[in-house]
Amino acid sequence: MARPARSSSNSSGQVRAGSHWAGPYWERSQRPLEILVLLLPLVAVYEAGLLLAARPDGGIPVTNLAHRYIHDLFSIFGVTGFGPMLPGLLLVMVLVAWQFLSKRSWKVHWGTVGLMFGESLLLVLPILVFARVLVGGGIELQVADATPDGLFDRVAMGMGAGLYEELVFRWALIAIVHGVLVDGLGRSHRTTVFFAVVISSIAFMLYHPIHTPEGDLMAGLALFYLGSGAYFSVVYLLRGFGVVAATHALYDVAVVLLAHSASG
């Protein structure tokens, strides 16, 4: 991927394109409206998976850990009215509010959305190759309770993992690092980007299981999660939240489908 000649940062810690990259598609793909349209089907599939996996006792169903963390964080402050749908509503509301505050047109450019989806599919390929080289491609989804049995449930959980892990580890965490280093400590943009990628990648690695039941470190798996965390961080910084979230979600779905094909 080419490197921009110059860059600047916005309040979310995201790197904006250099002038020679700033074409119509590049700009439109960073708009919150196109991001929302791209991700809304993924959110809907995940929410449908949650409803289908709902427990008879009304408890929180099987879900990915990032989704559970967001839900539990709101529960601490007494916000429990929407149950497991709260993180999805939060994501949609943030994008709608961002679009509203940006004062941009509410007309969707469908060609841009289609290109964003295609770009995300292409960006899945390097991480699939990386997974195959390091760990044979068999990456387990991080779910809160137990791995769901049905194929649709696993696909839905994969989509949710991509969405909410990117929300936590890229959008939120990188924004926090940016705020602390730039706004709080007055560090340079270059230094901030470096530490944002490092911190986000390490946190992403530690979030996943990298030890055997006996407590031994699985070096290949740890390196995969560290490297994939860095990869997703760079995609986020260069291409924005929409593309990286879709890329991560589609990667997890590809892992589920490949595993299902191999087992069948």
Here the tokens at position 250 are 């589609």
Calpha distance 231→233 (Å, rounded): 5
Residue of 176, 191, 232, 192 whose CA lies nearest to 208: 232
Tokens of 93: 């509301």
In the three-class reduction of DSSP (H, G, I as helix; E, B as strand; rest coil), residue 13 is classed as coil
Q: Which residues contact 221 (CB under 8 A, 6 or more apart)?
A: 134, 135, 208, 209, 210
DSSP state string for 199-252? HHHHHHHHHS--B-TTS-B-HHHHHHHHHHHHHHHHHHHHH-HHHHHHHHHHHH
pLDDT by 10s per residue, the chain, length 264: 333 333 344 434 444 433 334 578 988 999 999 999 999 999 999 888 877 765 554 555 667 778 777 877 777 767 666 667 788 888 999 999 999 999 999 999 999 999 999 999 999 999 999 988 887 765 655 555 555 667 888 888 889 889 999 999 999 999 999 999 988 888 898 899 999 999 999 999 999 988 888 889 989 899 999 999 999 999 999 999 999 999 999 999 998 888 878 776
Question: Token digits for 103?
Answer: 């004062």
Instruction: Please state the pTM of the whole predicted model.
Output: 0.84
